[in-house]
Chains A and B, each alone.
Chain A
């Protein structure tokens, strides 16, 4: 185990986690808005925002799936040491993290049951760029309409059609964070 496995966590966990959660809650409540989060310095290839979200929400009760290049020894050791989250396959994961192409196909993840639609996975999608432009978003949390640079449109439209079942998405890029809950309807522009 290397020293950088042991470093990179919150300096003041209760306060840093509280600030980070406020940002996560605000983006989830207002799809399309982008906020900055800091506090964690995870090993590459994880972004600061993705590492901060993991430290804020994950613990031994939340199975995590690492997709593509996120599934490397440095990341596995870091998550295990700092959160204790079990690393699992797609179908058992409450959180999944990686690039969009590596996370696909969407159908492999838990999307909840009709009685308990909350028992669904949250996907943390690492992005090359994250901007408030692109696909048009309509739904709860959006006054008129919003825009977000989604990796594609069809998958999110299909996800919204299954409401109240479905996946929820967090998008991370550097220290920036945005979200797309299943309640948001997506249109290509």
Chain B
């Protein structure tokens, strides 16, 4: 028995968040304002995602949290423990076992199913914010579908660097209407934004919720002569040998030694458990056994 209301938030707050989620699903890519609450963690640690998760969780859910793909980082562990304590729900590190996944800056490598929900932690929900600081102006730009400034920014990338240099938080257009910030996921993940699961985005400090229903058409902005290209380190994972996963570069000594490993720790673990071994990997032993 917990001394908290189920999933921490009071019921009136949850109703307010739930109404915002429904409007967000009805207008894919549009940022719905909501009355974000103070949470027992600092802004920037996923307060938006936590509030969306709290409004969506049911007692039968299995909850997974990843931070840059990893289940075992401070932020992921503390949010998982927060809901273990306040909602009494089951948690997991296995993507396929989870019914609700809260993520910071990655989409899991394994394809998500119809029955899963993916909740993103979002720092800056407004894709036009660094181009136009005024909320009044960006609202007007969205209402008029005036996105020329975003194309100018991408064009300036090309004129300076010869290619679109934006590597994360790469802007997308949703169902041919709203330009949306997919949160700071690497652009490698952008093609996965059209998926079978429900995707919800929560920005706590900025007080915005937006959403992508399943199978929504999501197109990364680009030019005919400079098409969008998802990119990753040109390497295989050194632990599991995967050639198709997004990689983190890890410095391993003071002599410039480095290795590339999967950013999705569950994907890497499951591959190693299936006896895939990378260039620097050792045969897998289940540490939990």
Contact = CB atoms under 8 A, between A and B. Distances in A.
A99 interface: no
Nearest to A10: B11
A117 B18 CA distance: 17
B213 A18 contact: no
A43 to B, nearest CB: 22
Nearest to B32: A118
Interface string B249-280: 00000000000000000000000000000000
B185 interface: no
B177 interface: yes
Interface stretch (A72-80, A126-134, A135-143, A148-156): A135-143
B27 A14 contact: no
A183 B28 contact: yes
B11 A182 contact: no
**Chain B interface, DSSP helix/strand/loop, else mixed:** mixed
Contacts of B101: none
Interface in B89-108: none
Given A140-B217, A182-B27, A14 B22 contact: no
Interface stretch (A22-30, A44-52, A101-109): A22-30
A6 interface: no
B26 A28 contact: yes
Contacts of A122: 22
Interface in A1-36: 13-15, 17-19, 21-22, 24-26, 28-30
Interface stretch (B55-63, B66-74, B122-130, B149-157): B55-63
B175 A140 contact: yes
Given A14-B5, A140-B28, A142-B215, A59 B23 contact: no
B5 A30 contact: no
Contacts of A143: 196, 214-215
A91 B202 CA distance: 30
A181 interface: yes
B213 A29 contact: yes
Interface in A53-76: 56-59, 61-62
B21 A30 contact: no
User: Dominant SS at the A interface?
Assistant: loop
Contacts of A168: 22-23, 26
A22 B19 contact: no
Contacts, number: 115
Contacts of A56: 15, 18
A163 B177 CA distance: 9
Which size bracket describes the interface of B in this complex? 35 or more
Contact of B12 (A59, A118, A163): A59
Residue among A58, A94, A183 with the most chain B CB within 10 A?
A183
B16 interface: yes
Nearest to B31: A118
A114 B143 contact: yes
Given A115-B140, A118-B32, A28 B19 contact: no
Contacts of A140: 28, 175, 212-213, 215-217
Contact of B214 (A19, A29, A61, A183): A29
Interface string B150-174: 0000000000000000000000000
A158 to B, nearest CB: 16
A174 interface: no
Contacts of A57: 15, 18-19, 22
A164 interface: yes
A19 B99 CA distance: 13
Contacts of B28: 140, 183
B11 A14 contact: yes
B58 A19 contact: yes
Contact of A181 (B5, B6, B19, B25): B25
Given A15-B6, A141-B215, 20 more contacts: A13-B11, A14-B5, A17-B15, A18-B6, A21-B14, A21-B18, A24-B18, A25-B25, A57-B19, A61-B16, A62-B19, A94-B19, A114-B143, A115-B139, A115-B143, A117-B30, A118-B33, A140-B217, A168-B22, A183-B26
